[in-house]
Amino acid sequence: MTADDLLAPLDLAFWNLESAEHPMHLGALGVFSAHSPTAGAHAADLLAARASGVPGLRMRIRDVWQPLAFGGAVREADPDFDPRRHVRLHAPAADFQTAAGRLMERPLERGRPPWEAHVLPGEDGASFAVFFKFHHALADGLRALTLAAAVLDPMDLPERRPRPAEPARRLVPDVERMRELLRGAVSDVGRALDIGASLAVSGLGVRSSTALTAAPSGTRRTAGVVIDLDDVHRIRKVAGGTVNDVLIAVVAGALRRWLDERGDGSAGVRPRALIPVSQRRPRTAHPQGNRLSGYVVRLPVDDPDPLGRLAHVRTTMDRNKDAGPARGAGAVALLADHVPALGHRLGGPLAGQAARFWFDILVTSVPLPSLGLKLGGNPVDEVFPYAPLARGQALAVAVSTYRGRVHYGLVADAEAVPDLDRLAHALTAEVETLITACGP
């Protein structure tokens, strides 16, 4: 075991946050056009064959109780790796989203590489879907995309320059290094106090909604929405802001519509949305590990003006960006670096329960390549990303842009949100509302 084998602190946190009711895996549902009725079965064979040649898919996570890493975990090759245990061909499905919801609620087996690929042939014979699951401790969104792409058909991607070798670490730091460590420690204390104060303030003043909270039932429901990226750009050009600002504002407006339609009411509701921000740097340690911070945005669900909601999101996001991802309530994840391995193991359950005091809903963006994805020559038509649910929360939203269209992937506790399809329809309706508000 080397230092590079150890899970990065945030990976270890995700590994220990997991429970049976709150599995910590990412999901993605790719819907393919099928060239033949047997395309799904052929896709399953291809995935299993290709998985054998992808080193990252052979990696399991093993707990460590050695003195220098007591309570930690390592990522290591599974000597008994068999891809057929991870790639599964199912019976034809009438509704891919319904199947994805059932698969999303099942935790991954922790004794072997924590990923799965489920092939779902369509009943019509003209399509099939592949549902990927990757544990958050194995991969973040970008790494999961890389692993999934490795078992799809090859793409013509630009070559990446090799990363320069890092200088060997000295066992005993010199005096100047000690000064740097001391300054860093003082800075970390200041940052922790700043984050703690921001977290306390973020929980004051404005109510959320009981529709966004849930006792853990362990059930999951998923839904997907596709909107035209050109419509998003049209809104952005008239109202200002970024594409991401518009997509977040669409979530705020959809929540307003959904809460009012179901009778919960949107008056005074401004839930805290966590917007993850990648902090990964190519030359840092643990290049495959999670390096996440985030912004916390009060979604203006109670504002009846669609352009007012967008303006609020834009202003808040600009303020967050000016402060930087290392400050504010959304930067809590960065503190994981300063918790010892045993602390993650002992404090994981408590940290999971504290998530509801940090944010009310997750709204995350998952990158996808602009090139068309294929499997066995069958093209991907739609890609829906899914995020895990934190304890006490009923809804998570993930967004990806693929070939000129935006895909929203919704994950909800099935018992707390039995009407998730209504929220999906509200997302589409909110885009139309914003287009209308922007004028001809």
> What is the chain's percent helix, strand, coil content, to nearest 5?
40, 20, 35
User: What are the Cα distances from residue 24, in Å, to 11, 100, 238, 352?
Assistant: 11, 15, 39, 11
Across 10-24, 26-40, 124-138, 299-313, least confident range? 10-24
- Pick 179 or 258 by higher pLDDT: 258
CB-facing half-sphere around the CA of 351: CA atoms within 13 A: 19
Model confidence band, residue 394 (pLDDT cutoffs 50, 70, 90): very high
Q: Residue 395 pairs with which residues in a beta bridge?
A: 412
Provide the terminal-to-terminal Cα distance of the chain, rounded to the nearest Å: 63
> In terms of Cα–Cα distance, which of 305, 363, 297, 352 is closest to 328?
297
Q: Which residues contact 171 (CB under 8 A, 6 or more apart)?
A: none
The token duo for 289 is 């590990």
Q: Measure the CA–CA gap between 176 and 180, rounded to whole angstroms.
A: 6
The token duo for 174 is 């010199």
| DSSP sequence for 315-340 | HHHHHHHHH-TTSSGGGGGGGGGGS-
102, 91 Cβ separation under 8 angstroms: no
332-365 confidence digits (pLDDT tens): 554 455 555 555 554 555 555 556 667 899 999 9
417-436 confidence digits (pLDDT tens): 999 999 999 999 999 999 99
243-254 burial: b if 16+ Cβ within 10 Å, else e: bbbbbbbbbbbb
By CB neighbour count within 10 A (0-12 exposed, 13-18 middle, 19+ buried), where does 45 fall?
middle
131-166 confidence digits (pLDDT tens): 999 999 998 888 898 899 999 998 754 444 444 444
Q: Measure the CA–CA gap between 276 and 365, rounded to whole angstroms.
A: 8
